[in-house]
Amino acid sequence: MTTITRRQLVGLVLLTLMWGLNWPVMKLALREMQPLWFRAVTMGFGALALMLYFMARGVRMLPRGGSEWRDVAVLGAPNILGWHGLSIIGVAHLPAGRAAILGFTMPVWTVLLAVLFYRERFSARLALAVAAVLLAIGLLLWDELAQLAGSPVGVAWMQGAALAWALGTIWMRRARLSMPPETLVVWMMLCSSVALVLLAAWLEPPQSWHLSAIIWACIVWAVLLNYGAAQVIWFRLARVLPAPTSAMSIMAVPMVGVLSAPLIGEWPSWQDGVAMVCVMVAIAAVLLLRD
């Protein structure tokens, strides 16, 4: 059994807090920024910061040959462009905590897609996970429909994001990569940020850059912490932590997202609380339990 060190535990706690707090930070930023512009700018500068960091540590940062560039394009489409593009639109339509709950249904969809398309076994724990996720989605969708200002389309955007990430995760596991994972992630982010700039220029109104100080702080947070420090910590931990420990961190992210939402004036309902518990049960079922 692998024992987690104090340094790894601190890193895991920081990672969970950064990922969880990022949901209300994004929601706050969207008060003055268009969703795709926010995502494009923060992802692009975050990728450049990561590139400089990894280059300083001697990591090869340029893909070689057509096969490596193809991996960047194919894996980046669902993992980065799909997840980050769709999820930021979902955040624009939903409370931050609710978006976090719906986004982190992706471990269940990962396993379910593997069963449907790659002939992996459908187990009792997967049935439990699917039932819990469907209950969570049903609760939140019902509550959105019941509210005059509700936006059930936001539920669809977040589930699209979760499914994109799930598909990308499956493809990533099955890919035979020749480049360092750091290189792959940086170039997936850079290429996706360019695509998001083009989509933002096409689909969204012109973005004013006369922003308040708090919004600039949100941008700095996203660049340096969400796309910078969090990625570095995750790379270090993913190589040494056992899967159950990583799963516990994933389970805690939507909880942090829900509990931190009141910082921007969004108070969770009882539906959010029940849905959060359902998603945590679902994640535990697919990542922790064994038949």
Per-residue pLDDT, 1: 45
Please, are residues 114 and 46 in contact by the beta-carbon 8 Å criterion?
no
pLDDT of residue 245: 59
Give dist(CA 98, CA 19) in Å, integer.
Answer: 14
Distance of alpha carbon 112 from alpha carbon 130, whole angstroms: 8
pLDDT at 193 over 70: yes
Q: Answer whether residue 137 shows pLDDT above 90.
A: no
- 148 falls in which pLDDT band (50, 70, 90)? very low
Domains of the chain by residue range:
6-287
User: Is the confidence at residue 67, as pLDDT, over 80?
Assistant: yes
Report the percent of the chain where pLDDT is more than 70: 91
How far is it, in rounded angstroms, from Cα 215 to Cα 228?
18
pLDDT, tens digit (0-9, with 9 covering 90-100), for 155-190: 899 999 999 999 998 898 888 889 999 999 999 999
Answer with the residue of higher pLDDT: 253 or 217: 217
Mean pLDDT to the nearest integer, 7-20: 87
Q: Is it the case that residue 143 has pLDDT exceeding 90?
A: no
CB atoms within 10 A of CB 67: 12
Give the pLDDT mean for 53-68. Answer: 94
